[in-house]
Amino acid sequence: MKFTRRDVIRTTAGAAAGALGSRFVGSSAFAQEGLTYKPEEGAKLRLLRWSPFVQGDEDQWLKNTKRFTEATGVEVRVDKESWEDIRPKAAVAANVGSGPDLMFVWFDDPHQYPDKLLDVTELGDYLGNKYGDWHDGPKQYATREGKFLGLPLATIGNAIVYRESWVKEAGFAEFPKDTAGFLELCKALKAKGHPAGFTHGHGVGDGNNYAHWLLWSHGGQMVDESGKVTINSPETLKAIEYAQELYKTFIPGTESWLDVNNNRAFLAGEVSVIANGISAYNTAKINKDNDPKLAEIAKDIRTTNLPIGPVGKSVELFQVTTAVIFNYTPYPNAAKAYLQFMFEDPQMTDWVTSSVGYCCQTLKAFDNNPVWKADPNNAAYAKASATLRPNGYAGPLGYASAATMADYVLVDMFAKAVTGQATPQEAMEEAEKRANRYYRV
């Protein structure tokens, strides 16, 4: 396996992972008649996935893969790449027609090369019927014109992670629930020497999550229901002006941050509040016995959902990953059998549990996994699959929405405005021009 800088902060899972079995999935979920794929003779598979932030995720996935090999005789090689490298690697494999048999891809990337992916509608329908249906948001990312391009694997939730003692030091008894109060908190934290830090760089997860929350919380949108680009609007202007004020409370350099950087800054005690998955908290919690500083941080960490803006309701992106099979694979039955095995109980139950709040289930029958109540800090991530808003909002998902996100159009708009590289109006006009390159195709 190739190791990247993400592996520096990988964490281990809780102790209860292995013994859960099927008892946490309702018995009604097992009424559907079985589906069986017979692997091709001599089949061998290669899966390329993203590098984990939570070690229990990877460990359990490999354990489940070993179970599959023992049950079928099909060997599966599991490789990994950094988050930022997954998107280009998948695009190359799809266009060249060679590479891994299966991949974990991001957001609506399957819509960029739908004709290069194996149709798994039969399997998607089977799993949905057996396990109480798919959550709608993840399903939208994985389906096109009623067909499954892949299987919605997980939603990686995003929430506010903060130091409770520093929030109180700044004069706030509790974390603000609206964007106005949040800005005042961040100003007070900066005055106390505890700046905030939110990713304005090309972080696949954190950069996109933050930028979309800024836009949507103020009522802006990239496109309307028909797919017409509407980013140049009074609502977007309000979002940019808010982002400019918030940016003044940040630690320097967030415009170059990738997904790993806010974790590092937070765990180093350099920032007081970030938006992140559960991984930052788990890293501190797992390593507290060996590091007094991390023990202090772990005890002080609290999580909550992002503040509500002028739009009046919670609107968050969250990061969805879909498991796809490339149609060039010489072993399509083996690949489908592998995914079926990994999505079935008890494998899925064990994986969600071992991910300790990092990977949120996409099949509704797994919603009652006790991991979501095992730690109060997990609660902010429990409903990520049920509440997410797809990045193509308010228009349809497809090539244009996927390409616009892959090109970081929205992320760059905010970054250029907050750093003074462009005025808010210039930033909106540039974003409008860039998005139209894709939506007018």
Sheet holding 44-50, edge to edge: 75-81, 44-50, 102-106, 319-325, 151-156, 359-360
- Give pLDDT tens digits for 184-204: 999 999 999 999 999 999 999
Q: How confident is the model at residue 275, as a pLDDT?
A: 97
Strand segments, DSSP code E, in 92-216 are 102-106, 143-144, 147-148, 151-156, 159-163
Please determine, looking at this structure, whether the domain spanning 159-316+408-440 carries the CATH number 3.40.50.300. no
Q: Which of 388, 387, 354 is nearest to 370 (CA)?
A: 354
Instruction: Kindly state the helix (H) or strand (E) to which residue 142 belongs, with its residue range.
Output: helix 136-142
- 148 Cβ neighbours under 8 A, 6+ residues apart: 119, 120, 121, 123, 124, 125, 142
> Exposed, middle or buried by CB within 10 Å (0-12, 13-18, 19+), for 327?
middle
pLDDT band at 34 (very low <50, low <70, confident <90, very high): confident
Q: How confident is the model at residue 13, as a pLDDT?
A: 37
pLDDT surpassing 80 at residue 18: no
Q: Name the residue type at position 107.
A: F
Strand segments, DSSP code E, in 326-403 are 359-360
pLDDT band at 9 (very low <50, low <70, confident <90, very high): very low
- Give pLDDT tens digits for 361-389: 999 999 999 999 999 999 999 999 999 99
> Exposed, middle or buried by CB within 10 Å (0-12, 13-18, 19+), for 313?
exposed
Higher pLDDT, 8 or 205: 205
Calculate Rg over the CA atoms of the chain: 21
- 365 Cβ neighbours under 8 A, 6+ residues apart: 25, 26, 29, 130, 131, 132, 345
Q: By the 8 A CB rule, do 74 and 329 touch?
A: no
Three-state secondary structure call for residue 407: coil
Give mean pLDDT, residues 308-330: 98
pLDDT surpassing 70 at residue 4: no
Q: How confident is the model at residue 180, as a pLDDT?
A: 98
- Give pLDDT tens digits for 246-271: 999 999 999 999 999 999 999 999 99
Q: By the 8 A CB rule, do 265 and 201 touch?
A: no
Give mean pLDDT, residues 296-321: 97
Domain 44-156+318-387, second-level architecture? 3-Layer(aba) Sandwich (3.40)
Q: How confident is the model at residue 7, as a pLDDT?
A: 36
Buried b (16+ CB within 10 A) or exposed e, 199-208: bbbbbbbbbb
In angstroms, the CA 170 to CA 193 distance is 10
- Give pLDDT tens digits for 65-103: 999 999 999 999 999 999 999 999 999 999 999 999 999
pLDDT band at 325 (very low <50, low <70, confident <90, very high): very high
pLDDT surpassing 90 at residue 149: yes
Buried b (16+ CB within 10 A) or exposed e, 416-433: bbbeeebebeebbebbbe
**Token digits of residue 52:** 């984990």
Ramachandran category for residue 369: left, alpha or beta (phi over 0 → left; psi -120 to 50 → alpha): beta
pLDDT above 90 as % of the chain? 92
Q: By the 8 A CB rule, do 362 and 155 touch?
A: yes
CA 235 to chain CA mean position, Å: 25
- Give pLDDT tens digits for 380-423: 999 999 999 999 999 999 999 999 999 999 999 999 999 999 99
* Domain ranges (residues) in the chain: 44-156+318-387, 159-316+408-440
Q: Name the residue type at position 132.
A: G
pLDDT band at 31 (very low <50, low <70, confident <90, very high): very low
pLDDT band at 22 (very low <50, low <70, confident <90, very high): very low
Q: How confident is the model at residue 33, as a pLDDT?
A: 56
- Give pLDDT tens digits for 275-306: 999 999 999 999 999 999 999 999 999 999 99
pLDDT surpassing 90 at residue 5: no
Q: How confident is the model at residue 16, as a pLDDT?
A: 36
Domains 44-156+318-387 and 159-316+408-440 share a fold: yes
- Give pLDDT tens digits for 229-247: 999 999 999 999 999 999 9
Q: By the 8 A CB rule, do 382 and 208 touch?
A: no
Q: How confident is the model at residue 441, as a pLDDT?
A: 74
- 145 Cβ neighbours under 8 A, 6+ residues apart: none
Q: Name the residue type at position 309.
A: G
